[in-house]
Chains A and B, each alone.
Chain A
Amino acid sequence: MNLPKGKKLLRIASASVLASSSILSLGFASLAHASNLSNVEVRFDNMKVSAGTTGTICAKPATAGTEAFVAITFPTGFTVGAAGTWAVNTTNLAWPTGAIAWPGITTTPAPTVSSQTVTFTAGDLTVGTLYCFNWTGTTSVTEPVTNGNSELGSVTTQLAGNTPLDSSPYATATLTDNTVVVTATVPPLFQMSMNVNSDALGTINTLNPVSSSGTKPAVTINTNAKNGWQLWGNDNNTGLKSTQANYTIASHTGTLATGQEFYNTGVFSKTQVGGAGTISIVAGWDDTTPNFTGTGLTTSLQTIATSNGTTDTGVVTLINNAVIKATTPAATDYSDTQNYVAAALF
């Protein structure tokens, strides 16, 4: 047929679009197919590359007929075992809702294996009913040696004489890995250390807020936890408490300023020698400037910092700040007990 060049291009484009849309309509594993088998599902129990796998096959027939066989074609790249490696059962292994056992499915006589296709002897099916069966031999089907997506196969019901009745494609994928291997020689480790057991604020006056005067408390973390870690803190008094004066300088979240009477704790610095993780200071705790900014500790644990990966010598240095008013009762025993907890995340 001689067509003008423009029309020819249009037809090619239309055909391409149609072909693409028909391919795109194929979902993964569970596929709808007009006037053929519907709800086709071939589920591989182990989708890892090179893995021998058991699996489940489900389908809902659309055409009336006396089925005698069902043929499963596995995608290119899958290794299909010899007839003797096949075994089937109809145990409901998390089948789709409403599915019932595939009648007459058997490996006696043994299925015929031809290239990628295995044909089982099976019984007659009722149109509109969802049937499933499992293959249970781990050497029956082996996943490809390389990972891939959109690997296409098909399920076909056949009449006596292997005449095809209903058919539908299915798609699957092969994954790099599907399990997490925990090595025995490198266990998941988490280490936390504190550099001091106490911290002194010295003498607090009304002129300016004051901060930790000596070695600042620092939490050091070492871990190979890939999900990182989290650091929490709380205190016993929700403030700086004096028994002598029977008075508490209250905990306060924010920046301390002259004329106030508050106490807070911030993160003075965060460093790490190595590791894939990054330490993040939770909003409200950042006093790296430093300008007496922090969070008021309470008796409930609050998150101070997190890391999202492995950490080599991650150090979170804390700073305590306080400020008083002219009316704050005088005493020499304003004190607090702070508790810090760290854990590797999961």
Chain B
Amino acid sequence: MKQWKVTTATLIVVGLILSSLSAIAHAANSAPVGTFNLQVTPSPLVETVKPGTKTTLQLKIRNVGTGTENLKIVPRSFRYDSATGKVQLDDKTPPQIASWLTFAAPTFTIQPGQWFTEQIAVNIPKTAGFSYSFALEISRQKILQAPTAGHAINGSVAVFALLNVDRPDAKSELKVVNFTADKKLYEYPPVTLAVRFNNTGNTILQPSGNIFVQRGVTAKTPMATLAVNAKDSYILPGTQRSMSATWNSGFATYQSTTNSNGSVTKHLVVDWQKFAQFRIGKYTASLVAVYNDNGRDVPVQGTVTFWIIPWRAIIGALLVIALLVWFVRWRGKRRTEKAVKRALAAQAAAQKKTEAEKKGA
């Protein structure tokens, strides 16, 4: 009797365990019911790691959706296209660094509204260098398969990870490929200045600095100071990237407005408070950008000149002046003619009078 009871209890316990495991497995493999909605931070994930040591990165993921999400995280490779400025993400190929990455939880579950912190251990060998960039793709463990007819829609979030390896022999080098204004001649600002950098080193760089808009190369007080790389963009080794800044201040400037249909129109805005800032003539934009090389600023520079000629205003003013000159001359001429006429009439009258007096005498 006692043995039967023990056997029964054991079977019940085993049954419960098996049913629990089955439920867990089912939960992990069943199709998600909610729509995909994830928030990640930080994005991008940027870090400097030391070779030969283990560095742990943290990526926080929040389930903003309404259903429980069973997720997975995998490293992927990508390529930055210097020509288009777009990223070509490869969701099939693991990056070179993949074998040095360890995820604390390669698969995980997040309840609605909850955060999950993924710990990513990076074990960079001593000989590795000098920088690594890859993507971390977070998607559902079970990809929705297509229904009987129609489309299954799957979403996933990728986070770019940019790692610099802290090695003394790393080479940080940034060159200015070109520094240009979008036109040589403007009627009014805005003036868009673009600098294209080339990362010729082997580290990931984030330049900063200023563009000084001034009358001449050596002017001490710039009219405007613009930020270089206001978006805090990164430049990967072996790639080029363009960054632009816009100078749009002065007495008369073109301002852009976005219409409800998304189209952009520009219109001339006159600010009388900036009357002294009437832009006309030749201007110089001097670029001074710096990048970090082992804690030191390394400057790179460029210069571009451009002209601002408000030609329509000048033509208008010249026309007004010409009209005024013509009017003054025309009026003078008319006055002269009238005076001559009057003089001739007076002369004729005097002559008549003289002749009449002669006849009378």
B contact face: mostly helix, strand, loop, or mixed: strand
Given A45-B296, A180-B232, A149 and B151 touching (CB < 8 A)?
no
Most chain A beta carbons < 10 A, residue from B91, B262, B290, B292: B290
Which residues of the other chain, B, contact A192 by a CB distance below 8 angstroms? 36-38, 155, 157
Do the beta carbons of B158 and A342 come within 8 Å of each other? yes
CA–CA, A199 and B149, complex, Å: 9
Docked pose: A151 CA to B299 CA in angstroms? 14
**A44 contacts the other chain (CB 8 A):** yes
Q: Which chain B residues lie closer than 8 Å to A195 at the CB level?
A: 35
Bound-state Cα–Cα, A177 to B288, Å? 11
* CB closest residue in chain B, given A199: B151
The stretch of B12-20, B137-145, B337-345 in contact with A is: B137-145
Contact yes or no, A341 B158, CB < 8 A: yes
Which candidate, A57-65, A79-87, A106-114, A225-233, is the interface stretch facing chain B? A225-233
Type the 1/0 row for A243-268, where 1 means its CB is closer than 8 Å to any CB of B. Answer: 00000000000000000000000000
Contact A189 B39 (CB under 8 A): yes
Instruction: Render B203-237 as a binary contact track against A, CB cut-off 8 A, 1 for contact.
Output: 00010111010101111111001010011111000
Quote the shortest CB–CB distance from A96 to chain B (angstroms): 11
- Min CB–CB distance A137 → chain B (angstroms): 15
Q: Across the interface, do A343 and B143 meet the contact criterion of CB distance under 8 Å? A: no
* CB-based contact B154/A193 at 8 Å: no
**In the docked arrangement, what's the CA distance between A338 and B214, Å?**
53
Which of chain B's residues have a CB closer than 8 A to the CB of A306?
Answer: 86
Count contacts between A and B, CB distance < 8 Å: 248
**Inside 8 A of A346's CB, which chain B residues have their CB?**
44, 46, 160, 162, 233-234
Contact of B222 among A148, A197, A345 (CB under 8 A): A148
Contacts of B83 in A (CB 8 A): none
User: A150, A175, A196, A340: which contacts B208 (Cβ < 8 A)?
Assistant: A175
The answer, yes or no, to whether B192 is at the interface (CB within 8 Å) is no
B195 within 8 A of A: no
Residue pair B148, A332 in contact (C-beta under 8 Å):
yes
**In chain A between 158 and 208, which residues have their CB closer than 8 angstroms to a CB of chain B?**
172-173, 175-180, 187-201
B255 within 8 A of A: no
- For B157, list chain A residues within 8 Å (CB): 190, 192, 341-343
With a CB–CB cut-off of 8 A, which chain B residues contact A23? 217-218
Q: Are A173 and B212 in contact (CB under 8 A)?
A: yes
Chain A residues with CB under 8 Å of B42's CB are 187-188
| Binary contact readout A27-53 vs B (1 if CB under 8 angstroms, 0 otherwise) | 011000000000000011111000000
The interface residues of chain B lying within 8 Å CB-to-CB of A236 are: 146
Is B182 part of the binding interface, using a Cβ–Cβ cutoff of 8 Å? no
Q: Once the chains bind, are B290 and A201 in contact (CB under 8 Å)?
A: no
Q: Which residues of B contact A147 (CB under 8 A)?
A: 210, 212, 222, 225
Evaluate whether A341 and B208 lie within 8 angstroms (CB atoms) in the complex, with A199-B150, A346-B233 already known.
no
Of the residues A26, A28, A335, contact of B147 by C-beta under 8 Å: A335
Q: In the assembled complex, which residues on chain A have CB atoms less than 8 Å from the CB atom of B43? A: 188-190, 223, 225, 343-344
Q: How far is the CB of A134 from chain B (nearest CB, A)?
A: 10
Separation of A230 and B299 alpha carbons in the complex (Å): 31
Query: What are some 6 contacts across the A-B interface (CB < 8 A)?
Result: A24-B217, A149-B288, A225-B43, A333-B149, A335-B147, A337-B143
